[in-house]
Amino acid sequence: MLIPFLVSKIHQATVTATNLDYMGSISIDEEIMEKAGLRENQKVDVYDITNGSRLTTYVIPAPRGSRGVELNGAAARLVNPGDRVIVAAYALIDERELDSRNAVILLMEADNRIKKVINSRI
């Protein structure tokens, strides 16, 4: 049986911008994407810690080193610059593999620097 499990999480990133006129997505600094194991166009959930909004979108890279986290399109109506968010990616994993898998969790500073990387058993 395949079970959806967390494989990647960016915890308490700060939204740096919103762009209502863009087609959609969340832009994340390419370096942060790599550390989190996220790929371009990968589906993610975004949980706004500040206001409680939850949404699903896909990831596109922001310039490397920019520390940018930008919500685009319709998502820009649910999140504001300065909000703290959690970005979570899940995968369908065979239950027989669960004991050998780890989730990558990035704990973020307020300026979107990576404070700590955790490889947690899922």
Domain-by-domain residue ranges, the chain? Answer: 2-121
Query: What CATH fold (topology level) applies to the domain 2-121?
Result: Barwin-like endoglucanases (2.40.40)
pLDDT-derived band at 119 (thresholds 50, 70, 90) equals confident
Which residue in 25, 47, 53, 66 is the catalytic one? 25
Active site residue 25: yes
Nearest to 54 by CA among 64, 63, 62, 44: 44
DSSP-derived 3-state class of residue 18: strand
pTM of the model: 0.93
Known active-site residue 100: no
Q: Which of 22, 47, 58, 90 is catalytic?
A: 58
Q: What is the DSSP letter of 24?
A: S
Q: Is the pLDDT of residue 6 over 70?
A: yes
